[in-house]
Structure 1
């Protein structure tokens, strides 16, 4: 099933299939590998993961707008199969070193601690940022997103 077909099923469940417009949603996945996409998807599906973050620099590099509340995303797994639909409910910009324990817990990863979150995200950004000519810094700006699963 394609992400578009998955989204249409969601609309049908609401009785709104006639309102479908291709630009109403984006397709996204968590992480930077098929394995990470699957690993991070599981806590989303279970309700444990309700937040995520990305480097603001990535958005600037790609020239895209940062997400806004109300954004609908079809989330795919490591094989690009649609698994759920999320809605962005909050966006905040903050530096890496300003992320608090509540946000770290809501990311739903590891032991849910801020220490684990910092270690995992430093490794992730150290690995991924060189592709856009940047390096990890503890004061780097992040796009912090809270979301809710609206369909799975």
Structure 2
């Protein structure tokens, strides 16, 4: 199965943030990612399931790496721990740093524009916490 047969996965928004995320996956530093459950619901997308594969797109919309989801949990933000925060591969020292960065992103203009409002982000906000492994890189 090539990249073209896989659903696309876009980290953040095109630009430096996405480029850093893709680079962190390719380097092996990023083995987890988090999404706001409200975004999945608004987009009418199902929460990913273990075993599902995705083509992670770069900022130009090209497949950069193929990942396979190995674990998915829908949990309140307060349940994200230091280990998961570090697995995000963004240099977070602990869950507090992860939380601050994700609160800022989830309240960003891009997310608010997509949802049509600024989401409530607090301890009980549900996030989709995924762990994954790389199963292929580059174009098929």
TM-score by length of 2: 0.86
The unaligned stretches of length 5 or more in structure 1 are 9-21
RMSD over aligned Cα atoms: 1.7
SS in 2 for 1:136: coil
Give the counterpart of 2:112 among 117, 127, 130.
130
Show structure 1 runs of 4+ deviating over 3 A: none
Q: Counterparts of 1:1-150 in structure 2 under 5 Å? A: 7=3, 22=5, 25-127=6-108, 128-131=110-113, 132=115, 133-138=117-122, 139-150=124-135
Give the counterpart of 1:151 among 116, 132, 136.
136
The unaligned stretches of length 5 or more in structure 2 are none
Report the number of matched residues: 133
Largest Rg, 1 or 2 = 1
Distance (whole Å) between structure 2 residues aligned to residue 109 and residue 136 of structure 1: 23
Distance (whole Å) between structure 2 residues aligned to residue 112 and residue 73 of structure 1: 27
Distance (whole Å) between structure 2 residues aligned to residue 35 and residue 29 of structure 1: 13
CA distance 1:47–1:96, shift in 2 (3 Å): same
SS in 1 for 2:25: helix
Looking at secondary structure, tell me which structure has more helix per residue: 1
